Amino acid sequence: MPVYLRDARGFGEAAVGIVLGVFLGTEALAKLVTGRWADRYGTRRLIVFGPLLSVVSVILTLAAPGANGAAWETVLQGSFRVLDGIGAAMVWPALFASIAGATNERDRPTALSLLNACYLIGIALAFPLAGWINDQSRQSSAGLGMAAILFIAASLLALGLRDHRPHSQSTGLHLSRVSPWLLATGFLAFAGIGFPSFIAKLFPMDEFRMSEGQVGLLVLPTAILLAVLSAPAGRLATRLGARTTVFAGLVLCAIGTGMIGLAAIRPESRTVATVMIAAPLVGVGFLIALPAWYAYVGGAAGSATRLGAVMAAQGIGAIAAAPLGAAMYEKLQPFGVASRLGPSFAHWSPFLAASGCLAAAAIVFLAASGPAREPSDGGR
């Protein structure tokens, strides 16, 4: 979507950030409701219907008239992202709760790691496939058509899922009963993820003059390696405990994004090698932290309500950071020139901000969670 909006629609990076920020905002707020829906009505119907909203969104996005990124077009494309946001909000709490509900507490981190592996394999295949389709067709809209086909396939596959409802009173869980430190950790961690999220694909294209297909091939080996390591990462979380695993993962993410971000003030470090060394650290950190985090948050019952509340806080963090990261990417170039760091300072700066947020998330989590809190209570 960022490549399509910029290259086919003529949007600037800051405008891209605004449009996709609408998606993140809608997803975050909707999860406060869709998590409860999943607990009350079952998970399957949300996982079936969520992707279909994104199919409608893709059709409307491609059919809408263009105006080279004019204000009214920005509003129009932003309105389509509302559908995407509601669709994503329907899927993710329900999907994680469905996996959690099908496993016992001991096996849950491993099960969620396998779900994470499926996600990473999807990314590993999607990046080069979408890039190749767009490169071959010479149209950045072609990848969106493929996305619509995959959303339909996901919806059809979800018809075979078994419904899950928590086997406890968690369906009555109110947002006020979710510990504030859980919400704060989620907010800060996903603010860190959010800063470079909108420009992640644009960054290597602009800095290293790569095509979309080349960016996909750059991502492919790392994503496949992480997918292979997903099951061992889940077993590691079981052995070490969720608290230790989440903290270690956040630290690795902070170090990896910090290595890339420091290149903003050290021009000699602005190389492909820096990114290739740092990116696996971020990937491994994400790999080990996320399943343990959701196992911790979901509690013994695998409550979609609690997961939805924390995912909402995460989304708000991403909302706050992602458009700001996109604006930094575009607007800080004059500052880079004035400070003799070069215009590329702007392209590397979002990673520095990301590192600060991830480090703060690690500190908050370690200080507030306490060694006695384990995944079984979800931090209540």
Q: Taking residues 360-380, what's their average pLDDT?
A: 67
User: Considering all CA atoms of the chain, what is the largest pairwise distance in Å, rounded to the nearest integer?
Assistant: 60
Q: Is the pLDDT of residue 126 over 80?
A: yes
How far apart, in whole angstroms, are the C-alpha atoms of residue 251 and residue 44? 35
Alpha helices (H) in 195-241, listed in sequence order = 202-207, 212-240
HSE value, Cβ hemisphere, 13 Å, CA-based, for 181: 15
pLDDT of res. 168: 47
Q: Which domains does the chain have, with CATH numbers?
A: 2-161+176-377 (1.20.1250.20)
* 189: confidence class by pLDDT, cuts 50, 70, 90: very high
Range of weakest confidence among 3-7, 110-114, 132-136, 245-249: 110-114
pLDDT of res. 371: 54
Q: Is the pLDDT of residue 47 over 50?
A: yes
Q: Is the pLDDT of residue 192 over 60?
A: yes
Q: Is the pLDDT of residue 324 over 80?
A: yes
Query: Average model confidence (pLDDT) for the chain?
Result: 86
- Would you state the structure tokens that stand for residue 58, as one six-digit string? 């893709």
% of the chain residues with pLDDT over 70: 92
Q: Is the pLDDT of residue 40 over 60?
A: yes
- Would you state the structure tokens that stand for residue 95, as one six-digit string? 């999907």
Cα-trace Rg, the chain:
20
pLDDT of res. 380: 39
Angle in degrees, CA 320, 324, 327, rounded to 5: 160
pLDDT of res. 379: 41
Neighbours of 339 (CB within 10 A): 11
Distance separating the N- and C-terminal Cα atoms of the chain: 38
Query: Is the Cα torsion angle 285, 288, 292, 297 positive or negative in sign?
Result: positive
* 312: confidence class by pLDDT, cuts 50, 70, 90: confident
CB 260 within 8 A of CB 347: no
> How far apart, in Å, are the Cα atoms of 90 and each of 55, 151, 170?
14, 13, 18
Write the CB contacts of 377 (distance below 8 Å, at least 6 apart in sequence): 299, 300
Which of 42-56, 196-210, 216-230, 281-295 has the largest mean confidence? 42-56
- Would you state the structure tokens that stand for residue 335, as one six-digit string? 């500052």
pLDDT (tens digit per residue) in 329-360: 989 999 999 999 999 999 999 999 999 999 99
Q: Is the pLDDT of residue 3 over 60?
A: yes
Nearest alpha-carbon partner for 77 in 89, 65, 90:
65
Q: Taking residues 293-305, what's their average pLDDT?
A: 71
> How far apart, in Å, are the Cα atoms of 273 and each of 260, 268, 281, 355, 357?
10, 11, 13, 19, 24
How far apart, in whole angstroms, are the C-alpha atoms of residue 233 and residue 360? 23
pLDDT of res. 172: 44
pLDDT of res. 14: 83
Task: Look at 180 and 379; give whichever has higher pLDDT.
Answer: 180
How far apart, in whole angstroms, are the C-alpha atoms of residue 50 and residue 40? 17
Residue type at 75 in one-letter notation: V
Range of weakest confidence among 58-72, 198-212, 218-232, 247-261: 218-232
* 375: confidence class by pLDDT, cuts 50, 70, 90: very low
Q: Is the pLDDT of residue 211 over 50?
A: yes
Length of the chain counted residue by residue? 380
Nearest alpha-carbon partner for 91 in 304, 332, 331, 321:
304
pLDDT of res. 28: 86
Write the CB contacts of 63 (distance below 8 Å, at least 6 apart in sequence): none
Q: Is the pLDDT of residue 31 over 70?
A: yes
pLDDT of res. 123: 77
How far apart, in whole angstroms, are the C-alpha atoms of residue 237 and residue 356? 25
> How far apart, in Å, are the Cα atoms of 378 and each of 12, 49, 114, 242, 310?
41, 28, 20, 10, 11
